[in-house]
Structure 1
């Protein structure tokens, strides 16, 4: 399938209060690798950056930037979402996050995705997820029994999704989106 020309999402940078604690979490719990780190001069003096990635072809996917004031009462980041390569991987990270005692650990289905939500050490919401073969109208979120064996969990998720508004195959949804975005799906 041809992608929409122009822009594609690449990476995100987030301000942090405790850069070492955050770097430890992203590298030790979520398996990111520090690809670079250093200091830049900014308008308020020098600040540290830690570049992380999970892809050897991508220098950085998440950049941690020192300088987030501790007194800010509201976090403007809604969530950072990471796609898992399989349900087994998602379940393995769920167990790792349990062991790491993260806050607000919640497995849910959105109908079109199975997700695990939690907070990183500075309260940024993370979503680890896999897509399902279905689409349902959004928003939709209900808790899911992630402890079920994978085949039973997928059967449960499909039964649930089939009863929701807008249910159709992901391929049908993709074809509609490609048409709406003006993307020719027949050329590679």
Structure 2
């Protein structure tokens, strides 16, 4: 069971045209596992619940019923944290092999990302956090053909040249203080 002390984003759902195609895409690219599926009693649409971790029943819900005239996705992005720079490369390649388009690697300084459009046009981000903070939005091109050491060295140089730079642990301590001032201490 996910332990939370205040409202915390935990999962998301998207309406799709082709449920099976989209389930195949997300299970193949991200290794997510189908946990449950069926037709909703309230939403009256086919629903497929996917997760990558045993502490969350679902992290992504694929829901049928996206109207055929809905050619523009209102999803700004679906983001997936990954463990390494190599994971960014591997997932980019898997996604492209399964129909992803609009692939865009980007260096945010505080994270390295690869954005792409899934087969139904939803923007997906895969990212790895960096040990740096710089104010956002920030985006430089990311060349994933470089070796990891070069990417990390260039990222640190980009960050250190930004006036807002600080190590991530310093930023986290400042943000933790900000949260403790503005958040309720305990939920009912």
TM-score (norm 1): 0.88
Which consecutive unaligned segments of at least 5 residues does structure 1 have?
184-188
Assess if the C-alpha contact under 8 Å between 1:4 and 1:181 holds in 2. no
Query: Could you tell me how far 1:149 is from its partner in structure 2?
Result: 1.0
Q: 2:74 aligns with which of 76, 83, 103?
A: 76
Alignment of 1:126-141 (within 5 A): 126-141=124-139
Q: Which moved more, 1:120-129 or 1:67-76?
A: 67-76
Which has the bigger relative contact order, CA under 8 A and spacing at least 6?
1
Unaligned runs of 5+ in 2: 182-188
- How far residue 160 of structure 1 moved from its aligned partner, in angstroms, is 1.6
Q: Cα deviation per residue 1:100-128 (whole Å; 9 max; x = unaligned)?
A: 34111111111100000001111110000
Alpha-carbon distance, 1:37 to partner: 0.6
* Equivalenced residues, count: 179
Name the counterpart of 1:38.
Answer: 38
Residues of 1 paired with 2:159 and 2:98: CA distance?
Answer: 31
Q: CA deviation at 1:148?
A: 0.9
- Equivalences for residues 34-113 of structure 1 within 5 A: 34-42=34-42, 46-113=44-111
The answer for the alignment partner of 1:168 in structure 2 is: 166
Match of 2:13 in 1: 13
